[in-house]
Chains A and B, each alone.
Chain A
Amino acid sequence: MPSTTNELANVTPMIVARDIRKRFGVVEVLKGVSLEIAKGDVVAVIGPSGSGKSTFLRCLNHLETVDAGEVLIAGETLVSSDAAGVCRYAPDAELRRICRRMGMVFQHFNLFPHLTVLQNIIEAPLTVKGLARDAVVPKAEELLRKVGLFDKCDSYPARLSGGQKQRVAIARALAMEPDIMLFDEPTSALDPELTGEVLRSMRQLADEHMTMLVVTHEMAFAREVSSSVVFMDAGEIVEARAPAEMFSSPAHPRTQAFLEHML
C-alpha cells in the first residue's frame, strides 16, 4: 500500500509554471504562459519560429530570468511573484540545487570540445557532486552503452556525427540523474537520416518514465511519444491537448493553420 507522502509526491506536479512573462527590450516574448507537467509526462511543445518556445524552456531552468510569474520544480519554488508583480528568485544555493534537478539538451549539442566523450559525461558528477572517479566512470560507461556509443568513449566530440554528439549530450545530462529532461529542438541541427537515432534514445527515456519537456518540429515524435502536446504561438499557449486529439481535431484556427503547414 502506498504511503500518504508517496501519494502526495505523486500528485505534486514536476513542473508548475504560472503566468510566466518575459520581454526582451520592447518585445514581449512570453505573455503569461502557464503549464503543469506531472511526473512521467512527456510534453511536446510545438509552434512557429519565434513563438517563444525556447525562451519558455530557458525560463524554467533559469537560463533566462522571468519578468513575472511563478515556477515550481517538484513543489519547490524557483521563482515567485508577489501581488505587486515583483518576482523573487530562490537564494543562490537553493536555485542551483533546484535547477540541477533538470537536465537540458540543446539544439547545437554544446559538448565540451576539449574533453573526450567519457570526460564530457563525468565532468559534472566529478566537479559538481564531488564524486570519486571510480564511482562515476562505470555509470558513465553504462549510459554510453545505453545510447549506443560505448565504443566512442575516448573520442573527441569533433570526431562524432551530429546524431552521435546529441546522444552524448543526452548521456551527459542523464549522468547528473535529473528528475526532468528539457529538450530544445534536439534534432533540428541534424541531417534527416540522423534524427532517428536521437529520437530512439529519447523514446527509450520516455519508456522509463522520465519527465520530459520537448520543443520539437518532429510531429511524428510528438504524436507517438508524448502524453500531451502544447501549441505555442506569439508568446502564448494556444492549446494543450492529448496528441491524438491535437493532430486529428485541433480546436483553434491558429493550431489548424500551423499543423496544416507542418504535415
Chain B
Amino acid sequence: MDYIIEILGPLLQGTAVTLQVFLLTLLLSVPLGLGLALVRVSRFHLASAMVNGYIWLMRGTPLMLQMLFIYFALPFVPVIGVRLPDFPAAIVAFVLNYAAYYAEIFRAGIQSIERGQYEAARVLGLSYGQTMRRIVLPQVVKRILPPMSNETITLVKDTSLIYVLAMNDLLRAARGIVQRDFTTMPFVVAAAFYLLMTLVLTWGFHYLEKRHAVYDE
C-alpha cells in the first residue's frame, strides 16, 4: 500500500498529461469533425470530394505514423513546414486524425435523417442552415451518441501513443517505474486509472443518452 502511494505521484502527473491530450483532442476534433461532415454532405462537390480524400488519408494511415510525420517530417516540408514542440505536435496529429473519425460518425448520422424531415422544414420556410441547426442536428446527436461514446473511449486509450514523442503520459510513467523497480504494480495502477477514466466517460454518455431518451422516434 505504501508503495502504491509512493508511485501515485508520478502516475498522477502522467494522468494529467493523458487527460490534457484527451480533453484538448475531444474539444477540438468534435467541432472540426462536424464541420467536415457538413462540407461532406453539402452540394459543393469539389469540397465534398476533398473532405472525402482527407478522411480516407487520415483513417487509412496509422495515427502513430501521422504523429511521427508531424513531429519529425513536417519541419522539412516546403512552405507549410513548421517545427512544433512535442505537445502541440501530438495535439495536431490527434485532432486531425480524430476529426476524420468523428466526421464519419456525423455524416452517417446526418444521412440517416429521413428526407421527409428536410421537406417538412422546407415547406415551413426554414432555410438549409436553419433546417440543419434546428431540425437535423438535434436528432443526429441522439442517434450518434453510441458510436461517439465508442470513439471517445478509444481516444482515451489512444493517448498512450504519445510515448513515441517521449512524452510522459500515464502509460510511459508507469513503464518507467516498472523498469526502475522491477515490479508490475505500476501497470496495475495505470490500468485502474484508465478504467476509471473510461468509467466516467461511460457514465457521461449514459447520462446524455438518457436525457435524449425523452422522445422516441
CA distance A156 to B124 in the complex (A): 19
CA distance A114 to B134 in the complex (A): 10
The smallest beta-carbon distance between B162 and chain A, in angstroms, is: 38
Bitwise interface map of A from 190 to 223 toward B, beta carbon under 8 Å scored 1, else 0: 0000000000000000000000000000000000
CA distance A156 to B139 in the complex (A): 13
Residue B125 lies at the interface, judged by CB distance under 8 Å to chain A: yes
CA distance A240 to B122 in the complex (A): 30
The smallest beta-carbon distance between A215 and chain B, in angstroms, is: 15
B124 adjacent to A123 (CB under 8 Å): yes
Chain B positions within 8 Å of A148 at CB level: none
CA distance A99 to B120 in the complex (A): 12
Chain B positions within 8 Å of A157 at CB level: 215
CA distance A259 to B126 in the complex (A): 39
Given contacts A63-B119, A127-B130, contact A113 B125 (CB under 8 A): no
Residue A255 lies at the interface, judged by CB distance under 8 Å to chain B: no
Among the 9-residue stretches A41-49, A103-111, A133-141, the one with 4 or more Cβ atoms under 8 Å from chain B is A103-111
Other-chain contact of A158, B121, B135, B215 (Cβ < 8 Å): B215
- Chain A residue nearest in CB terms to B115: A110
Other-chain contact of B124, A113, A159, A172 (Cβ < 8 Å): A172
Other-chain contact of A106, B120, B125, B130 (Cβ < 8 Å): B120
Residue B117 lies at the interface, judged by CB distance under 8 Å to chain A: yes
Chain A positions within 8 Å of B126 at CB level: 123-124, 127-128
- Chain B residue nearest in CB terms to A106: B116
Residue A102 lies at the interface, judged by CB distance under 8 Å to chain B: yes
Residue B181 lies at the interface, judged by CB distance under 8 Å to chain A: no
Chain B positions within 8 Å of A111 at CB level: 120
CA distance A96 to B120 in the complex (A): 14
Residue A18 lies at the interface, judged by CB distance under 8 Å to chain B: no
Other-chain contact of B130, A100, A104, A110, A128 (Cβ < 8 Å): A128
Given contacts A156-B216, A158-B217, contact A113 B123 (CB under 8 A): no
CA distance A99 to B215 in the complex (A): 30
B122 adjacent to A63 (CB under 8 Å): yes
CA distance A214 to B59 in the complex (A): 50
The smallest beta-carbon distance between B104 and chain A, in angstroms, is: 22
A114 adjacent to B130 (CB under 8 Å): no
Residue B200 lies at the interface, judged by CB distance under 8 Å to chain A: no
Chain A positions within 8 Å of B119 at CB level: 63, 106, 110
Chain B positions within 8 Å of A61 at CB level: 123
The smallest beta-carbon distance between B119 and chain A, in angstroms, is: 6
Residue B138 lies at the interface, judged by CB distance under 8 Å to chain A: yes
Residue B214 lies at the interface, judged by CB distance under 8 Å to chain A: yes
Other-chain contact of B117, A96, A110, A128 (Cβ < 8 Å): A110
B139 adjacent to A114 (CB under 8 Å): yes
Question: Top 7 nearest A-B pairs by Cβ distance?
Answer: A110-B120, A124-B124, A110-B116, A158-B216, A128-B125, A156-B215, A104-B123
Partner-A contacts on B (CB < 8 A): 114, 116-117, 119-127, 130, 134-135, 138-139, 142, 214-217
Partner-B contacts on A (CB < 8 A): 61, 63, 96, 99-100, 102-104, 106, 108, 110-114, 123-124, 127-129, 156-159, 172-173, 176
> What are 11 residue pairs bridging A and B, where the CB atoms are less than 8 Å apart in the complex?
A104-B120, A110-B114, A110-B120, A112-B117, A113-B216, A114-B142, A123-B126, A127-B134, A156-B216, A172-B124, A176-B124
